[in-house]
Amino acid sequence: MDREKALGIVESKIKGPRFQHTLGVVETAIKLAEKYGADKEQAEIAAIFHDYAKLMPISELKNFLIAAQEDERLLLYHPELWHGPAAAYILKKEFAIENEDILNAIRFHTTGRANMSLLEKIIYLADYIEPGRNFPGVVETRKLAKIDLDQAVYKAISNTISFLVEKKAAIYPDTFEAYNFFILNKN
């Protein structure tokens, strides 16, 4: 699918600030792909669609997770975690996007997971550091992104976990496993 068509599909679904965020993720993901040697077109498509399902009603998201035979634990956690897996399912079913790495980058963009692929890391990080973001720690993470991809992704994940602990939110196992993977494999 080409860029313009993909952007049109997404814009009709998520207008306004959420679409501006998506454009920021696209720009950032392409830069990271260039820097770290990932496929730029794959990064672009994954970034364009990553939040495609963000504004869907929870009941609809839930039906997509069931249809996709997604990990049932997701349903026990916050619905914020559902839009990535739902978007991956819809892309495959409705838009015939078959590339598993693109689908997984979208699927895991909120939680991360252990042993993420290069493309998964790029989308996770681009979502965190795109120019419109202003979380505490984002400036530091942007600096790291220019030097070391793994350190930057680790920083984004550990910031997210601290943020979740602070607001007493449940932490999904994939989020912890992403964090642990970087700690255990640090050299």
> Whose Cβ is closer to ligand DGI: residue 124's or residue 144's?
124
Report which residue's Cβ sits closest to Fe ion. Answer: 127
**Closest separation between CB of residue 128 and Fe ion, Å?**
5
The number of beta carbons lying within 10 Å of the beta carbon of residue 165 is: 10
Whether the CB-CB separation of 127 and 50 falls below 8 Å is answered with: yes
- Using the contact rule CB under 6 A, the part of the chain among 55-63, 103-111, 113-121, 141-149 near ligand DGI is 103-111
**Closest separation between CB of residue 172 and ligand DGI, Å?**
3
> Whose Cβ is closer to Fe ion: residue 22's or residue 38's?
22
- Using the contact rule CB under 5 A, the part of the chain among 38-46, 62-70, 123-131, 172-180 near Fe ion is 123-131
> Whose Cβ is closer to ligand DGI: residue 104's or residue 160's?
160
Within 126-155, which residues bind ligand DGI (CB under 6 A)?
A: 127
Sign of the alpha-carbon dihedral angle for 128, 124, 38, 51: negative
> Whose Cβ is closer to Fe ion: residue 17's or residue 187's?
17
For residue 119, give Cα distances in angstroms to 62, 72, 109, 137. Answer: 26, 25, 10, 22
d(CA 52, CA 127): 13
d(CA 113, CA 121): 10
